[in-house]
Chains A and B, each alone.
Chain A
C-alpha cells in the first residue's frame, strides 16, 4: 500500500510534541496532563500549544455544552 510522503521536519516537530506531552514517566500532575494531552496532540498540526489549564477548562466547557463538531446532530427531546 502506498503512503503519503512525509515532511521530515514537520514529522519531527509533531513527534516531539506527542512524545514529550503524551509519554514518559508520571509522578505528579498525571490527571491534568492526561486530560489535556488529548487536545494538545490534536493541535499538533497547527503547531499551536495552549496552557494545560486553559485547555482543560475549554475541554470541560465543550463537554458540558455540546461538542461543536456534533452541532448538527439532532437535538433529542429532554437534552
Chain B
C-alpha cells in the first residue's frame, strides 16, 4: 500500500497515539536507517495518485502541526509526497539525505509566522499605453497586461512598507531572535505574504512586537502562526 509522507523529525520517538492523517489513516513513525533524521511521520494511503481536497490539506497540516507540538521542529513536506511503500519512502529520503540534513539544521528550534498584507485600498489606475493610438483588441490586451503588472507592483510595494515597519519594530526589540525571513510574495488573491522564521523561545516577544506594529497599520494585515516552517524547508 502507498506510503504518504507528512514531515521529518530530527529525533526518534513515537508519534501521538490515535493521531489521524489523510483519509483518517493512522499516523505512524517510520524509523530512519541513517542519523540524518530521527523519524518520518507517515500513513498508509488507499488511493494513488492523491487528489488535493481541502479536507486532505487540513489533515496534512494537522499532522505537521502535531509534530511541531511535540516540542521539536520538524521539516514539513509539501502536500502529495507519496511513495510505493515504506521501503521506497526511506530510500527516497536517503537519496536526499545531505539536502535534508541542511534543511533540518536550518529550521531547528524555530517556527514560521506569516504576515498576510491586503491590497492597497485605492484602485490602481489602468492607465493608457498611448492615448492617441487607435483602440483595438491588441491595445486592450496590452492595457490589461500593463494593469495587472501595475497592480502587482502596488501590492508588492504595500507589503514592502509593512515589512519595513515590522523589521524596524523587531530591530528595536532585542529579545526577538529572528533567524530568517522571506521576501514579499504576491499571491493571486490580491494579497502578499511575508514569512518569518522565529526561534521558539522568542515567540511571545515576536508576537507582541509584530501585533503592536500591525495594529498601528490598520486592519489590512493579519499575522498567522506559529506554523511548521514550510517556507524555509527548501534547500539552501
User: Which chain A residues have a beta carbon within 8 Å of chain B's beta carbons?
Assistant: 1-6, 8, 11-30, 32-33, 36, 40-42, 44-45, 47, 49-53, 70, 72-74
In the complex the two chains form, what is the Cα distance from A3 to B155 in whole Å?
9
**A4-B119, A27-B93 known; A21 and B79 CB under 8 Å?**
yes
- Give every chain A residue within 8 A of B224 (Cβ-Cβ): 11-12, 15
B80 close to A41 (CB less than 8 A): no
Number of A-B contacts (CB under 8 A): 157
Q: Is the CB of A27 within 8 A of B49?
A: no
B residues contacting A by CB (< 8 A) are: 5, 8, 49-54, 57-58, 60-61, 75-83, 92-93, 96, 100, 103, 114, 116-122, 136-138, 140-141, 157-158, 161, 187-191, 193, 217-222, 224, 227, 230-231, 233-234
Check if A28 sits within 8 Å of B81, measured CB to CB: yes
Chain B residues closer than 8 Å to A29, beta-carbon distance: 80-82
Residues of chain A within 8 A (CB-CB) of B57 are: 16-17, 20-21, 49
- Determine whether the beta carbon of B54 is less than 8 Å from that of A49: yes
B220 touches A27 (CB 8 A): no
| Contacting pair B78 A23 (CB below 8 A) | yes
Sorted nearest first, the 10 A-B pairs with minimum C-beta distance are A3-B220, A23-B230, A24-B78, A3-B118, A4-B118, A51-B51, A25-B233, A2-B121, A72-B137, A24-B230
**Cβ-defined contact, A4 with B121, below 8 A:** yes
Q: Which residues on B sit within 8 Å (CB–CB) of A45?
A: 188-189
* Inter-chain contacts of A18 with B (CB < 8 A): 187, 193
Cα A9 to Cα B182 in complex, Å, equals 23
Among A16, A42, A72, point to the contact of B58 (Cβ < 8 A): A16
* B interface SS class: mixed
Contact between B222 and A20 (Cβ–Cβ < 8 Å)? no
In Å, the complex CA distance between A6 and B119 comes to 9
Least CB distance, A5 to chain B, in whole angstroms:
5
B77 contacts A24, CB within 8 Å? Answer: yes
Q: Give the one of B61, B100, B189, B193 with max A CB within 10 A.
A: B189
Q: Which of A15, A30, A33, A36 contacts B116 (CB 8 A)?
A: A15
Complex contact B218–A25 (CB within 8 A): no
- Would you call B158 and A3 a contact (CB within 8 A)? yes
Residue numbers in A under 8 Å from B187 (CB-CB): 14, 18, 41, 44
Can you list 14 contacts pairing A with B, beta carbon distance less than 8 Å? A2-B122, A2-B220, A3-B220, A4-B118, A4-B119, A8-B222, A20-B60, A20-B78, A25-B103, A27-B5, A28-B82, A32-B49, A70-B141, A72-B141
Residue in contact with B233 in the complex, picked from A5, A8, A24, A41, CB distance below 8 Å = A24
